């Protein structure tokens, strides 16, 4: 009798079509199509507003890597998340990995919410991020024009601020600069 070898969740993730993003959270494979235009606009705005001063040191302190959609391996090939943006202090991760696996826990993550991912981002991914010690998480909702900033304190998320519309953004861990939240919608 031939044994049937069941593919691992990571092998199933690797086998997903190119236009699909996959994650393994709490042992389950999640797959979703590429994001909407509003999602992309918010991601682009954050990448510009944070990447310039923090990643490149233009008008800010530098010292960070800000990476869109990295494949973060909290536990190699068994707990894998793809946040919309992630940031690492360069003293903790001096170089970018040569392959697609980021195995250093980020210092900051941002999820851009959509109707199809909001439940997963809040109820599944935030607890995973807390379990592995991510210090800061932001949730951006491009439809509601809001940003929620959380800080991990004693293994629990504490809401630092909820911003809306065109509020100025000056939040940890990026409080050295200020930008307008409207940058993410326009």
Residues 60-105 have pLDDT tens digits of: 999 999 999 999 999 887 899 999 999 999 999 999 999 989 999 9
Q: Is residue 18 part of a domain?
A: no
Count the Cβ atoms, other than its own, within 10 Å of residue 102: 23
Q: Is residue 65 part of a domain?
A: yes
Residues 163-180 have pLDDT tens digits of: 999 999 999 999 999 999
Handedness of CA 183, 108, 96, 58 (dihedral sign): positive
Residue with tokens 């973060």: 72
pTM for this entry: 0.91
Domain that holds residue 177: 35-184
Tokens describing residue 134? 């991510």
The number of domains in the chain is 1
pLDDT at 152: 98
Q: Indicate the helix (H) or strand (E) that contains 118.
A: helix 118-120
Residues 108-119 have pLDDT tens digits of: 999 999 998 999
Q: Is residue 8 part of a domain?
A: no
CATH code of the domain in which 138 resides: 3.90.1570.10
Beta strand 108-112 with 136-141 is parallel
Q: Is residue 23 part of a domain?
A: no
């Amino acid at each position: 009798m031939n044994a049937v070898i069941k593919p691992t969740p990571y092998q199933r993730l690797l086998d997903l079509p190119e236009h699909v993003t996959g994650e393994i959270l709490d042992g389950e494979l999640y797959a979703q199509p590429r994001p909407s235009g509003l999602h992309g606009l918010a991601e682009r705005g954050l990448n510009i507003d944070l990447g310039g001063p923090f990643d490149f040191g233009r008008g800010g302190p530098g010292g960070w890597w800000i990476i869109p959609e990295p494949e973060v391996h909290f536990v190699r090939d068994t707990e894998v998340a793809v946040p919309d943006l992630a940031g690492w202090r360069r003293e903790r991760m001096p170089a970018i990995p040569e392959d697609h696996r980021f195995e250093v826990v980020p210092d900051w993550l941002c999820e851009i919410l959509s109707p199809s991912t909001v439940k997963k981002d809040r109820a599944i991914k935030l607890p995973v991020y807390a379990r592995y010690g991510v210090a800061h998480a932001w949730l951006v909702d491009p439809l509601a024009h809001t940003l929620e900033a959380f800080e991990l304190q004693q293994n629990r998320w504490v809401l630092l601020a909820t911003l809306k519309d065109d509020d100025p953004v000056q939040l940890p861990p990026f409080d050295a600069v200020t930008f307008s939240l409207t940058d993410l919608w326009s």
